[in-house]
Structure formats: structure tokens, C-alpha cells
Structure 1
Amino acid sequence: MITNEHELGKLIQRGESLLLEFKSDLKCLPDRELVAAVVSLVNTDGGELLLGVEDDGTVTGLHANHLNVSGIPSLIANKTNPAISVRAERCELQGKSFARISVPKSRQLVSTSDGLLVRRRLKLDGTPEAVPFYPHEFIQRQSSMGLVDPSAMVLEEVDASQLDPLQRLRIRNAIKKYGGEQPLLALSDEELDGALGLTKSISGKQHPTVAGLLLLGTEDLLRTHLPAYEVAFQVLSGTDVKVNEFYRKPLIETFEEVELQFKPWVVEDELEVGLFRVPIPNYDRRAFREGFVNALVHRDFSRLGAVHVKIDNSGLNISSPGGFVEGVSLSNLLVAAPHSRNPLLADIIKRIGLAERTGRGIDRIYEGMLRYGRPEPDYALSSPYLVNLFMTNVAADREFLRMVVEQHDKLGEPLVEPLIVLMRLRDERRLTTIDIAPSLQKSELQARFLLENLLETGLIEAHGTGRGRSYTLSASVYRRSGQKSAYVRQVGFDGIQQEQMVLKFIQAHGQIKRADVMDLCRLTKDQAAKLLTRLANENKIFKHGERRGAHYDFNP
């Protein structure tokens, strides 16, 4: 954990966050405050506590009582329940000593030995604060970490006889309509409830689970026992409100009514591809369904707030209360293992057929945008308290769609990854494996494997070898889209472009080294050396020094 002064300075410059806390020790920070600060970190996402640093990042040093930091881990372990293990080291910066305490994230709630239970959150100004951890928030944390299933909790105060029998008919109709598990249709109502986990027997009486109430409850029951459950559908045109409906009906009925509300706002064009007419909707229905179902099923039912579906001039927004579940983030949406905050409810919806059975509905959402040449779905406005999906309604790229339809068999399944590569190459013309890997949320090795497979389809072309190997759309793709000259610009002028880039670099900086050329032109070591040698042989540049000390300039 030892870090040099430069890295420590950069760490402090970032300022306080959910993962980083500063504590002054000028007046000897009391043990109870130190322990409380550690507990707030451990109950959130873990992180680091810097003791001897002011809120503004000024290092003011440790009090004499804390100069021996080796005693801090024992203090923390003795004054937390359950005991937690931290690491502490003494660091020096600007001639001052401070303690760097690394705090792990706990999979269970931790309090001080005095019973204080706190967590960290961000204030409106973006700075962190420690706040009490209230009982109703326990279930939120445990469900997000996959430790409990809120949707499987039994509501003993509700009798199964109070449920709406018509909603079972909706379930059966949904199984037929969406291709759910057909054997479920042969079951009696009581057997169906048991098979799906809608009700459970306690002391000889049947009571609904939370999932059962969501699917079979009446509006009054839902309002009384699940007050957080609500769905809003809004259509805005500028500042004018066209539609503003709120629902507290059972889940499948709500889904069907919102889908009916959504349908009139889907406008379709057509594209002829051979003998077929391919529809081009402004919003892909399957992508909408997956996004909406995800919002209904994976929301945090202990947090007040409606699932919102909003259509405006810019596109479609679907938001639901509760952030991403443990292990899922913006950086791994495409590759994270399927994981629900409400496993029983998610399983029921899959078995009925409303959601993707593989748990990869996110792929369907991405495909619903990318196959039409539109930007990928945007989750950037999500937060620890909200998941927000935005799908823009910009015009489709008809030629890109034509290529996807014609080359579907070559692209294979899943379609999302090839589409991401083709879209980026369409927009940015030329990319390396290093460029593309983050978009795929995969390693460079995995990205290279996909690119080489696409190379075999003839849809992309490779240029160069090794780490400098780059990729462009193929000549046939440019030709099909009527952009023959664009292909020549990308491929035919490489040598000239690289030469001009080297000469301009020398003009700006006085000299250039082989490493500079590799970075500038995205070339391998050998390719950069050959380019410099050619320019030197043509007396356009001149070499000075040998091996690692070699550089080139305009002076003979």
C-alpha cells in the first residue's frame, strides 16, 4: 500500500468522495469519530480515510497520540460490530505525517460498538456526508448485494382469498401471447400460484409473496401494502404535456396498458432489401419492452418513486428507483452476469415470457438501437438511487441497416458486439484493438478475437501488424454505401498522412523519436523505424544518435 509523494498528492487533489474521507487530527480526533467515519465507509462501498488531512485537502499532520498508526487497526476491530479489519500506514507529504487507512466494503451491516449505524451519501453539491442508516434502508442494501430477495417476502397480513382472480387469467394469456412456459397452462389456479411462487402456505393458510401481490393484487391492496409501487407514462412536446398517466394496477395489466399507450407514438418507415420490406421504427418495440420490463422488475420497492416512461422531442426515457445492483456498473453492463434485485419476480416474468429468458435483455436493448445505425442506449444519467435508460429517436442510417440485414448470417449471434464494432468504424473510420476494447467492455485479447472474426466476413479490413494493427470498414461496405472516395481517403493516403504527421511534429517540437512516431501514427516499432529510415534516406529528416538515444530533426 506504500505510495510515493506524487501519487499521494494526486489522491488528495481528487478531494473527498464516497470512497475517500479526510479527517483533521490537529485536536486529536476522538476514537468514536474515527470509528464512525470508518463504519460509514464500510457500510457504503469501502474506500480510504486520510487522518491528518483537512476537508480542503491541506495536510496538517497527525496528533502525537496517533503517530504510532500500528494501533489503529486494533482500535477499529475492537470498536466495531461485527469487527472489521482495516490496514493503516503512516505517510509523509509536504513534511507532514498522516495516516492512510484502507477500509474494505462489508457484505453485512456494521455498527460501532456503541450501536451507531451510519453510511455515506452525496449531498446536492456533490460533497459526501455520513448519515444514519435507517431500518427501512437495510433491505435496500441487502437486496442490492443479493443477500435477500424482497420479492419473495410473504405478506402474512394479506390472505390469498383477497387477490384478484382475473389477474391469473392475464398471466395465462401472457404465457400464450409471449411464448412462456406452456406446461404452466395446464395447472389449476392454486397449482399455478405455487409453481410461480405467487403464494406460500403459513400455518395452513395461503398468503401472497410481494411478487404475488404485484401480479395478483387489487389496486387497494397494492396501494396499502406496496405504497412505493407506481408507474407513470408521459408524452411531452416541448413544454406541452400530451399524455400524463399514472398507474397502480397489477404488474401485467400495467405493462399491457403502458404498451398500448406507447404504440401510437411508434412511427414506421420501410426499407426494401431484395424481396423483403424491412420496417424502420423510430422506437424499436422489443427494445422498449425489455427496457420497461427491466424497470418494473429490477426496481427498488422499498424506495419511494415511480417507474417513469417519458417520450419527448429528444427521445425515450425509462427510469426506475434504485441504482444498479451490486456488481453491475456503466463499465460492465454488456458483460456482467445477469443479477436481479428481485430474483423471484424476475424469474416469474421470464417464465411468463415477458422478459428475455437468458437474462441478457440488455443485448436486445442495444441491438434495438444499433441495428438501425442509431447511437447505443445511454445510461449516463443513472445514479446510486436511479437507473435511467435513454434511447434517442434520431433518423436511422438506412444503408447501415441494409448492410445488417444482408449480412445478418455473417455477423452471427449475439449481434450486439459486431454492431458496436461496425458502428464505431462507421463513425470514426479507423480504430485499433485498444480503441475498440472499452466499447465492448472486454479485454484487448477478446476484442482482437472478435475483430479477426469480422475480418473473415469481409466487412472490415486490417492494416499493419502487432499492436499497431488498425481496422477500417472494407471496400465493399464503402462501395455498397456509395462512399468509394471515403475508402480511398482512409486506406490510400496512409503513407502520405504519416509522413506529414512526422514532419509537423518535428516542426512543432524540434525533434522526434521512434516512440513518438509509434504513438503518433499508431505503428509498431518496426513500422515506425521503417518510416523514419525512409524519410532519412530521402533527406527530409536527419538522424542523430544511436539506439535509445536516437532522434530525428531537420538539421543535417
Structure 2
Amino acid sequence: MNENEHQILERIQQGESLVLEFKSDLKCLPDRELIAAVVALANTEGGDLLLGVEDDGAITGLHVNHASLAGLPALIANRTNPAISVRVEPITVQGHHIARIFVPKARQLVSTSEGLLLRRRLKLDGTPEAVPFYPHEFIQRQSSLGLVDPSAMPVEGVAVDLLDPLQRLRIRNAIKKYGGDQSLLALADNELDGALGLCKEHNGQRCPTVAGLLMLGTEELLRQHIPAYEVAFQVLQGTDVKVNEFYRKPLLETFEEVELLFKARVEEEEIQVGLFRVPIPNYDRRAFREAFVNALVHRDFSRLGAVHVKIGDDGLSISNPGGFVDGVTLENLLVADPRSRNPLLADVIKRIGLAERTGRGIDRIYEGMLRYGRPAPDYSMSNAFTVSVHMANTAADLEFLKMVVEHADKLGNMPIDSLIILSRLRGERRLTTLDLVPSVQKSEAFVRATLEKLVETGFLESHGTGRGRTYTLSVALYLRAGKKSEYIRQAGFNPIQQEQMVLSYIDKHGSIKRADVADLCHLTPPQAYHLLKRLKDQGTIKKNGERRYATYTRHQ
């Protein structure tokens, strides 16, 4: 079995998913059904259509009419609008010929030539299905792809004089308070509305945009024209609900009221670091602000559901309707280019000063957790319909915080990449460059360079060479925390000690394997190999057998 066949067989055994569709060809799959399946994949996330495989994963092969696949890409392109360019690959699996049709994710809505629009979704049992793509869902798809800006759309039937003038005063006060764009303060009300895109001319009349209504509308107007808009603040203690407030007020007023409720639940203690008193809150205010503003601004206003802020026994959770925008995933959250589902609204909030103007507010959320020695913010509960972040309410690591504060005093603020690396090593003790790449979400070369800088500044120690090189927190950090014995366990032993340990093991047990050396001396397999080779070259031990059967004994 070749590698390609093996990979396809593994995917078939895992079953259908949003990005994998099986189609039986025993009775010659009709062109209409084939095109509909391709359209559904393209209108979701793209993926593979395996022609010649039953729904249960049984491989039955292609019908004789599909023996030649040369014309299939042209058929699909001619029967879709706009045309979808697929790649077709013939594969033989378990003696049967099947076709792998790779369908790219469409950058716009795609239908069959007959006008049929479909998309894929998961049923309650986790299996996928193709369902009609309804007109009211178009805006969700287009905004997630960055094709339209829902927040910039005019709200017809709402006169400008119906807006709440007090909200403009609130915007001006926020600019002063949060250090927003000071040039906005000199503008008259109608000029401010135009500069921020809160109102625009439409069909000869001046009316608010969706962003304008969110910022300046009354509660009545918001209920009527943006029914999906709602914010919930809840405090839970066990199964008891202590606070359960819901808001439909203008966005800035809602933010200020929820922030007051949040601040009332922030508890602080202080520690002395050098000449400074450093506060340690149970929840970082800046991290909360960025996470809450992100939820308000990037939510999907075409999908019913509230932005939820929940404080429970285990920590703070903030969620909003609408999954990540196209191109943003859990695997690239830290490095993806800043994008919003509602660009105009995001721009308004940044110009007011309420959000990070560089678009890297996610870094502040991470920093607000990691600098105190707490776990990184957890986005793992996010899915296609919701973005959710959880910030654990755990005790701060005071020694870790002192280290971060002193670094900032001497060398400037510690980069978020370094914080992530130190945080992981604090919890997992010894890691390689490859272990850290998924957490930092940058290239192996970048992570290695960051690790070496941390070694140079005395935060880390390196062990070994090449790809097997590992890193631990430095002895100075362990000693400072009063954990000398823990450092010895993690850092391992020097080469002479390692050699003596191997020889003592052989003297006691007669022989040793490479796996035994790795376990005994806390080494990686390549490091254990080089240790044994060094002893063999010295003539101290000899090798018996080859590869995984090799053992090492004393040289007589």
C-alpha cells in the first residue's frame, strides 16, 4: 500500500466531516447530485469529495461511466456559477478505483447552473449534511469572507434626529478618557457622525449606519432594527446565579455599565519588587477590556444571541455569536492579520481609544494572563458559531511575576512570545523547539531564535545539540524560587555524571539499551545515542546487535 492510498484509507475510516464527503457510484451518481455536493463543499470550507465510497465508508469503486475522469473538472466548471475549478485525482484503494475531487473554498457564494445554493452543516449526532443556503444567511457568509461590511450598511427608515445626542457626549468623553483620536473632539456633531461613519447619505436622505445605530441609537431603536444585539453579564457561584443582567443599551453605554460590574469583582493584593509596589489582580483589567470589546465588535449581528460575560468559581468567560472570521483559526490566532467581521464598527472603537489601535489586542489578553504566571487564555470552546475565551481564576505565581517585572525594568516589556515560552516551561519543565512552535504559532527558526535570546538573558538553559536540543528554566530562577532539587531533576546531570550512571547501570544489570539511557539520564533518544557512542569510542563499552535490538555491555 503506497503512502497516498494509506492516507486516504485512514481518512475514510474516520468518516465524513464538514470537509469530507462520500458519494456512492455503484449506480452511476447523477451529474446533478455530484454538482450539488461540490457546491455544498465550496460554500462551506471546501474539502474532498470521494466518489466511489459509500456513506458507511465501504469502498465500492467507480461506475464504468466514470472510468475516465478527464472530463470531470470541465463538467463541474460548466455546471456551477461562478465556475468552480476542482482537481480530480484517481486513486486505487483495496483494489477499487475511486476519485478524489478536491473542492476549494469559494470566495463568494456559488450555486449550481440551475440556481441551487447549498452549504454543509453538522447534525446533532456529529455527521454532516447538505442543506439549502437561505438568503438571510448570505450576509453571514459574505461578512466572514470579508466581502461586505454589515456595520457600514445604512439603516433605512431611521431619521438622524431620532438618535440619542447624549451618546455623542459619551463618545467625546471616552476619547478623552481612553486617549482616542483627539482631532475628533473639535468636530461638530454632524461632522463627528460623518468622520466616524456613524451616518451617511442614502437615497437622498441622511440616515445612520448599523455602527451608528449601535453607538447612538436608543434602546427602542436597537430592539426594532438590530434585534440580535444583546449583552449579558452573569455572576455564578456554584449553581446559584448571583447577578444576571441583560442590556440592549447603546454599545458604549453598555460597555461602561458592564465594566463597572466587572471592576466591582476585581480583588487586588500587592507585592514589593525593588522600589515598586506591584498590584496583583484576580482578573487583569486590560485583558478583560480587550476580550469584551472584541466580543462586542466582532460578533455576528445577523445571528441571534447575546454577548455573554460570565464570572464563575473557575474564572471569567466571554463569548459572542459568530465563529472566527475567514482565515483565523485556533492555530494562528496570535499571528493572523487583524480582521473584523464589522470593519467600520471596529474602526470606530479604535478611534475612540477603547481597543488596541494596532489590532493586536489578542496579545494583551495573553499578556494579562501569562505575566502573572497564570494559564494562557483558553479559546478551545470556540466553534463555527461562537468565539469563546476563558480566563482561569488561579493564584498568581509571585516569583514568575517578579521575574517579568524586573525584566521590564531592565530591558523593556517582555515580548508575548517569550512569555508563552517561559509559561510553558514553568509548567512542563523541559521542552524542545518543536514542542513550543504550536504555542508561539511562528516558524521553528523564529522560536529557536527567541529561545537563544532567553538563554543569553539568563532565563533559560539549553541542553544537548541539534534538533534534540532541549530547554529548561535556568538554575538562577529555580534557586530564587527555593527549588534547587527540582532544577537538578529537570536539568539532568553533567556528561561525566551521565557516563558514570550508565556504567553503574551496566555493572548492576549486565547491559543497557538506548531507551534505558534516555530514561536514566533524562535525555532524548539522539542524546542517549551520542552518550553511548562516546563511551564506545573510549573503549569503555561495546555494542552488541543492531538497531532496536542493540545492547551495550562493558568492554572486557
Normalising to structure 2: TM-score of the pair?
0.93
Inter-CA distance 477–3: structure 2 relative to 1 (3 Å threshold): closer
| Correspondence for 2:351 | 351
CA distance in 2, matches of 1:117, 1:28: 23
Inter-CA distance 128–286: structure 2 relative to 1 (3 Å threshold): same
Kept in 2, the 8 Å contact 1:498–1:521? The answer is no
CA displacement at 1:406 relative to structure 2: 1.4
The 3-state SS of whatever aligns with 2:70 is helix
Inter-CA distance 515–31: structure 2 relative to 1 (3 Å threshold): farther
| Correspondence for 2:551 | 552
CA distance in 1, matches of 2:548, 2:472: 34
| Correspondence for 1:388 | 388
| Correspondence for 1:68 | 68
Residues 533-542 or 378-387, more deviating: 533-542
Inter-CA distance 475–59: structure 2 relative to 1 (3 Å threshold): same
Aligned letter for 2:523? C
Kept in 2, the 8 Å contact 1:514–1:529? The answer is no
The 3-state SS of whatever aligns with 1:521 is coil
| Correspondence for 1:462 | 462
CA displacement at 1:544 relative to structure 2: 4.2
CA distance in 2, matches of 1:533, 1:204: 85
Is 2:524 the counterpart of 1:522?
Answer: yes
Residues 186-195 or 65-74, more deviating: 65-74
Q: CA RMSD in A?
A: 2.7
Inter-CA distance 515–115: structure 2 relative to 1 (3 Å threshold): farther
CA distance in 2, matches of 1:489, 1:293: 44
CA distance in 1, matches of 2:4, 2:144: 36
CA distance in 2, matches of 1:13, 1:515: 38
Kept in 2, the 8 Å contact 1:230–1:307? The answer is yes
Deviations 1:422-473 (A, max 9, x none): 1111112222211112110011100011111112211112222222222221
CA displacement at 1:24 relative to structure 2: 1.0
Residues 112-121 or 424-433, more deviating: 424-433
Kept in 1, the 8 Å contact 2:514–2:525? The answer is no
Inter-CA distance 277–516: structure 2 relative to 1 (3 Å threshold): closer
Aligned letter for 2:87? R
Kept in 2, the 8 Å contact 1:228–1:303? The answer is yes
| Correspondence for 2:533 | 532
Residues 235-244 or 531-540, more deviating: 531-540
CA distance in 2, matches of 1:260, 1:42: 45
| Correspondence for 1:379 | 379
Matches within 5 A, 1:117-156: 117-156=117-156
CA displacement at 1:124 relative to structure 2: 1.4
Kept in 2, the 8 Å contact 1:47–1:102? The answer is yes
CA distance in 2, matches of 1:413, 1:325: 30
Deviations 1:144-172 (A, max 9, x none): 11111111111122111111000000000
CA distance in 1, matches of 2:169, 2:502: 69
| Correspondence for 1:296 | 296
CA distance in 2, matches of 1:125, 1:453: 49
Deviations 1:384-403 (A, max 9, x none): 00000000101111111111
The 3-state SS of whatever aligns with 2:264 is helix
CA displacement at 1:349 relative to structure 2: 0.2
Kept in 2, the 8 Å contact 1:411–1:454? The answer is no
| Correspondence for 1:285 | 285
Aligned letter for 2:368? G
Inter-CA distance 73–125: structure 2 relative to 1 (3 Å threshold): same
Deviations 1:96-143 (A, max 9, x none): 121111111110111011111000111111111111111111111111
The 3-state SS of whatever aligns with 1:451 is helix
Inter-CA distance 441–497: structure 2 relative to 1 (3 Å threshold): farther
Inter-CA distance 549–331: structure 2 relative to 1 (3 Å threshold): closer
CA distance in 2, matches of 1:513, 1:240: 52
Kept in 1, the 8 Å contact 2:5–2:92? The answer is yes
The 3-state SS of whatever aligns with 2:318 is strand
CA distance in 2, matches of 1:462, 1:44: 45
Inter-CA distance 497–260: structure 2 relative to 1 (3 Å threshold): farther
- Give unmatched runs, 5+ long, in structure 2: none
| Correspondence for 2:488 | 488
Inter-CA distance 500–387: structure 2 relative to 1 (3 Å threshold): farther
CA distance in 1, matches of 2:46, 2:148: 21
Deviations 1:58-79 (A, max 9, x none): 1011122222222221221121
CA distance in 2, matches of 1:337, 1:215: 26
| Correspondence for 1:428 | 428
Aligned letter for 1:384? A
CA distance in 2, matches of 1:28, 1:110: 24
| Correspondence for 2:230 | 230
Kept in 1, the 8 Å contact 2:150–2:342? The answer is yes
Kept in 1, the 8 Å contact 2:86–2:102? The answer is yes
How many residues are paired up? 549
Aligned letter for 1:260? L
Matches within 5 A, 1:86-485: 86-410=86-410, 412-413=412-413, 415-485=415-485
Aligned letter for 2:350? K
CA distance in 2, matches of 1:59, 1:528: 44
CA displacement at 1:205 relative to structure 2: 2.7
Kept in 1, the 8 Å contact 2:151–2:345? The answer is yes
CA distance in 1, matches of 2:52, 2:419: 51
CA displacement at 1:476 relative to structure 2: 1.6
CA displacement at 1:514 relative to structure 2: 13
CA distance in 2, matches of 1:497, 1:152: 67
Is 2:55 the counterpart of 1:55?
Answer: yes
CA displacement at 1:541 relative to structure 2: 5.4
Aligned letter for 2:529? A
CA distance in 2, matches of 1:67, 1:313: 61
Kept in 2, the 8 Å contact 1:513–1:552? The answer is no
Kept in 2, the 8 Å contact 1:514–1:551? The answer is no
CA distance in 1, matches of 2:97, 2:484: 65
The 3-state SS of whatever aligns with 1:69 is coil
Kept in 1, the 8 Å contact 2:518–2:524? The answer is no
CA distance in 2, matches of 1:395, 1:413: 22
Residues 480-489 or 340-349, more deviating: 480-489
Inter-CA distance 274–126: structure 2 relative to 1 (3 Å threshold): same
Residues 86-95 or 108-117, more deviating: 86-95
CA distance in 2, matches of 1:498, 1:112: 70
CA displacement at 1:27 relative to structure 2: 1.7
Aligned letter for 1:407? H
CA displacement at 1:494 relative to structure 2: 5.5
Aligned letter for 1:44? T
CA distance in 2, matches of 1:467, 1:168: 58
Aligned letter for 1:58? A
Q: Provide the identity percentage.
A: 67
The 3-state SS of whatever aligns with 2:71 is helix
CA distance in 2, matches of 1:154, 1:28: 50
CA distance in 1, matches of 2:311, 2:364: 20
CA displacement at 1:492 relative to structure 2: 4.7
CA displacement at 1:521 relative to structure 2: 2.9
The 3-state SS of whatever aligns with 1:180 is coil
Kept in 2, the 8 Å contact 1:411–1:418? The answer is no
Aligned letter for 1:416? I
Kept in 1, the 8 Å contact 2:236–2:310? The answer is yes
Aligned letter for 1:254? T
The 3-state SS of whatever aligns with 1:48 is strand
CA distance in 1, matches of 2:298, 2:439: 24
Inter-CA distance 455–516: structure 2 relative to 1 (3 Å threshold): closer
CA displacement at 1:411 relative to structure 2: 5.7
| Correspondence for 2:19 | 19
